[in-house]
Structure 1
């Protein structure tokens, strides 16, 4: 059975832009599109009915939201199979459950600068930190063309995690479906303090770090690259912070793919600093892929 692409909708412009992008993505991969609205309205409204409408005012509003999103998706592509669901529960809980039987979750988030941005997109951040499937986040300043975007390439950030295969496989599949090159990037940092002694005897520490980055990159890509001979692959090692290198690359990419980079914090599973940064500041959609996907 084909796993659907699930989109969280709430009637906002960012979520509708996510519907646009996800419709093209579903058509690209030949999978169904599932539009989900979740809210705890029953907890606050109770069973009160909206006059003449046969349901609570919030239930009616929720139905209107998913139906409007479905009409929008059908206008974008008439061949994509579309289903809708309205769930009376907390959005993150509902989306995480939907993600267990999804090819990916697609979520919209507002893109704003400064401190306000850090307070927005809590649902997207929580889903990216905990979902069992890839989570793709679009901000409202991202290109909503999944197929013919501005960059014409997919960028993959290769981390230090030894279990990168699911992340790499997802990136190759996206590049293959779009028929665009894949650029795989591994960053390295120059040591703060060089090794004592003569460089001819001790070797250049920077060169050693760059060589290690190249070896990590080759090891992460080797098996999956062999399985996708039709994908044009560009390997790149770059000196600098992973955050800045990936953000710079996102300016000319259609999609940025990173590993989930999850860690435990005082509030449970949280995203690592690099993943968190690219979700907030990337200039293209970001796919956060769990290592076991």
Structure 2
């Protein structure tokens, strides 16, 4: 049985935008689409789910569609389903959320705890299709970014578009340097920024070798480099490390920044 892509719906317009995106994504990957509505006292649960199902069928008539209503906390229900899901897809804010910039509390909780990739559908309509022909992935190093890079390669492949791999770095104050040949003394375990990017991309599985890749090594804060790159992207992918003894994902400052401010959908991918 193929595991489904799960979309959380709550009756909001952002939730319906997530249905549109999730339906297209399910078709791209040939996986079923499952809609989840956590009722939590909602008397119109059937209406919410009916509207979302109709939207999914309109967006992707051929998608294999299922749905369910659960009577529990939305974040907990989504995290539970995420243990056996292709990905979880959410709108950028729910009913009553602050428009424009901030991620809703359910989305943030799910992104912080889920065991599978979580996609938060953000940005204007132009960023929710394939207009730009570009998937951006943030690269920290091959140990902290390998799974995110593989996910991003897969997304670029099914979209038949290019992948932009971004690695941000900072030189010591006063140093005169380049990403390829830093002038400050390097410790034995420290590599030039360009090599970090090359080493990470070298680990990409062979089935993605035909995906066109653009490397960007940027001096400065990672959150700014990623947000700048995302202005011309259909999807921004970031990794989230795991810490021993801490369940789920650990969201740092960079991931918080892109989840709150990115101009396009953001995928948060747990690192193996």
TM-score strictly above 0.5:
yes
Unaligned runs of 5+ in 2: 177-181
CA RMSD of the aligned region, Å? Answer: 2.7
Greater Rg, structure 1 or structure 2? 1
Is the 1:137–1:285 contact (alpha carbons within 8 Å) kept by the matching residues of 2?
A: yes
Residues 105-184 of structure 1 aligned to structure 2 (within 5 Å): 105-110=88-93, 112=99, 117-118=101-102, 120-139=103-122, 141-143=124-126, 145-146=128-129, 149-160=130-141, 162-184=143-165
Q: Which residue of 1 aligns with 2:179?
A: none
Deviation readout 1:133-188 (Å, 9 max, x if unpaired): 00000125354644xx2211101100147243221110110000000011111111
Unaligned runs of 5+ in 1: 42-57, 196-202
Deviation at 1:263, TM superposition (A): 6.7
Aligned-partner Cα distance in 1 for 2:164–2:85? 26
Aligned-partner Cα distance in 2 for 1:269–1:31? 24
Alignment CA distance shift 1:121-1:263 (3 Å): farther
Is the 1:14–1:140 contact (alpha carbons within 8 Å) kept by the matching residues of 2?
A: no
Correspondent of 2:80 among 60, 72, 97: 97
Deviation at 1:194, TM superposition (A): 4.1
Aligned-partner Cα distance in 2 for 1:109–1:22? 13
Is the 2:236–2:267 contact (alpha carbons within 8 Å) kept by the matching residues of 1?
A: yes
Aligned-partner Cα distance in 1 for 2:56–2:86? 18
Q: Are 1:212 and 2:192 counterparts?
A: yes
Aligned-partner Cα distance in 1 for 2:236–2:128? 14
Q: Which residue of 2 aligns with 1:79?
A: 62
Aligned-partner Cα distance in 1 for 2:175–2:83? 48
Is the 1:37–1:62 contact (alpha carbons within 8 Å) kept by the matching residues of 2?
A: yes
Aligned-partner Cα distance in 2 for 1:142–1:273? 26
Q: Which residue of 2 aligns with 1:20?
A: 20
Runs of at least 4 residues off by over 2 Å: 110-113, 139-146, 205-208, 261-264
Is the 1:20–1:144 contact (alpha carbons within 8 Å) kept by the matching residues of 2?
A: no
Deviation readout 1:53-111 (Å, 9 max, x if unpaired): xxxxx34x111111110011101121101100100000110000011111000000147
